[in-house]
Amino acid sequence: MTVSRRNFLGTSGAVALIGASAVSGRVQAASIPEAPIMKDATMQPPLIPTSGPDYQPVVTLNGWTLPWRMNGDWKEFHLVAEPVVREMAPGMVAHLWGYNGQSPGPTIEAVEGDKVRIFVTNKLPEHTTIHWHGQLLPCGMDGVGGLTQPHIKPGKTFVYEFQLQKSGTFMYHPHADEMVQMAMGMMGFFVVHPKDPTFRRVDRDFVFLMAAYDIEPGAYVPRVAEMTDFNLWTWNSRVFPGIDHIVAAKGDKVRIRFGNLTMTNHPIHMHGYDFKVSCTDGGWVPEAAAWPEVTIDCAVGQMRAFDFVADHPGDWAIHCHKSHHTMNAMGHDLRNFIGVDKKEVAKKVRKLVPDYMPMGSAGMADMGEMEMPLPDNTLPMMTGFAQFGAVEMGGMFSVVKVREGLAANDYKDPGWFKHPEGSVAFEWKGEPKKAERAPSTAFDKTKTAEFKVVKPGGNSPHDNH
């Protein structure tokens, strides 16, 4: 048995190895792989393969790839289901459930044809399982508690073994008390690379999972019984401005993969480009059948991937096109004050509350520019600034940054785009042009149409209305 130090996060380990007596399942191992733990909420470097088939590793927004070890011809991983604290954006943390220190859990990467052995240790206060969403595998490894396997009780470790039958874009999540466990953030990405390293290869490959939470201002734990009224829409349990930017070099072929474990669909739209939908959780879309889009809808439980060539430098928005999904901590019982004159009311209110500021009469944009006092552990509805001012976004929003001259696997934030002179929209300061009425045409005159209603089978004057 060989252990690559490159494939572990240090030999000291964040958790101790668990003895063979704690392992339930078909394999009774002399030892099981270390379970690395990650607390950092920033994007970690890709885990470049050092043996086996070559592939371009993925980069997880605000996340990381789970290291593995080779044990004979088995690739072994170790997931720990446990309570975690996740920073959703600076100024707010959530008490979630996840894997190996984070929600979502680490991305699992392997290669088509690999034999994988995945140990799962349960440190939750209740039982769990893991379902390998989209994978073709033996029924007993499918991870549905009570149906295909016993539940993994707290403190126990189970092992899943299967051979990867196809490459593509997949995820993992529980199939045990899933209303609670997925609502608490238990999910992770599973990418299987093609055995042929030249098949549909890209230069940069990004992944994220979509989740929704209802966390009241000042609270830390999601309301797991919520079905429709969520106030935080996340990518990898992060919201704008806390979501990593997607950085690419000009000329790179880029793939963005995402999955949806919320309670509604998400039309993901990227500015500045059209792209081709290349993969679903059902498999690869044949290149001749890949269709062009600028927005691709991702329904609940689906995975989608699209490819594009990064040939237009700039800072390009990428976001869910449902407008309420690009806001944070949004209250849904707000009254509409657009067009309401609050000046006199504001004077009276200030006698009681001197710092009162009336808002909403001209829209909500002023919320993005003002730093209003907030309850502890919550976020403004709209926040984030760029080089021209407030971005007025939140939730499912990030930026694709395309730059010339970036080195391969350089994912550092290059800062804001330096626009060529004369290429930014600007204020017109000339004389306004007077509107002129177009010459009248014959179509300007309208005639009154007369209608006569007749009941079927009757034509008498008494039948007409």
The position carrying tokens 């039958």 is 165
Q: How far apart are CA 465 and CA 455, in angstroms?
A: 9
Q: Is residue 451 part of a domain?
A: no
- DSSP assignment of 225-265, as one string? T-SS--SEEEETTB-TTSSPPEEEETT-EEEEEEEE-SSS-
pLDDT digits (tens, 9 = 90+) for 41-79: 999 999 999 888 999 999 999 999 999 999 999 999 999
Residue 354 domain-assigned? no
> pTM here?
0.82
SS3 state of residue 352: helix
pLDDT confidence of residue 334: 56
Mean local confidence (pLDDT), 275-293: 96
Residues, the chain, total?
465
Which of 304, 290, 297, 325 is CA-nearest to residue 397? 325
Residue 251, pLDDT > 80, answer yes
- What is the Cα–Cα distance from 88 to 232, expressed in whole angstroms? 9
CATH code assigned at 105: 2.60.40.420
Going by pLDDT thresholds of 50, 70 and 90, the confidence category of residue 31 is confident
**Res. 284: pLDDT tops 70:** yes
- Of the candidate ranges 20-24, 226-230, 410-414, the one whose mean pLDDT is the lowest: 20-24
Beta strands at 204-213 and 232-235: parallel, antiparallel or unpaired: antiparallel
End-to-end Cα distance, the chain: 91
* Alpha carbons 217 and 141: distance in angstroms, whole number: 40
pLDDT of amino acid 433: 72
Q: What is the pLDDT of residues 128-178, one digit of tens each?
A: 999 999 999 999 999 999 999 999 999 999 999 999 999 999 999 999 998
Which of 48, 31, 38, 35 is CA-nearest to residue 8? 35
Query: How many domains in the chain?
Result: 1
Show the domain range for 110.
Answer: 5-320
Higher-confidence residue of 421 and 9: namely: 421
Does any domain span residue 448? no
- Is residue 398 one of the residues assigned to a domain? no
Average pLDDT over residues 397-408: 97
- Whether the pLDDT of residue 358 is over 50: the answer is yes
Q: How confident is the model at residue 217 (pLDDT cuts 50, 70, 90)?
A: confident
> Residue 361 pLDDT > 70, yes or no?
no
* Domain annotation covers residue 94: yes
User: Is residue 154 in some structural domain?
Assistant: yes
**Residue 278 covered by a domain:** yes
| Tens of pLDDT, residues 90-106 | 999 999 999 999 999 99
List the structure tokens of 206: 């990004």
Spell 101-132 as b/e; 16+ CB within 10 A means b.
bbbbbbbbbbbbebebbbbbbbebeebbbbbb
Burial pattern 2-40, b for ≥16 Cβ within 10 A else e, equals ebeeebbbeeeeebeebeeeebbbebebeebbbbbbbee
Inform me whether the pLDDT recorded for 413 exceeds 50.
Answer: yes
**Helix residue spans in 280-434 (DSSP H):** 343-352, 366-369
Q: What is the pLDDT of residue 69?
A: 95
* In-domain check, residue 373: no
Over its C-alpha atoms, the chain yields an Rg (Å, rounded) of 27
> What amino acid is encoded at 35 in this protein?
A
pLDDT band at 355 (very low <50, low <70, confident <90, very high): low
pLDDT band at 6 (very low <50, low <70, confident <90, very high): very low
pLDDT at 17: 36
Binning pLDDT at 50, 70 and 90, where does residue 228 land?
A: confident
Which H or E run includes 402? strand 397-403
Average confidence (pLDDT) over 351-356: 67
Between residues 431 and 141, the one the model is more confident about = 141
Task: Return mean pLDDT, the chain.
Answer: 86
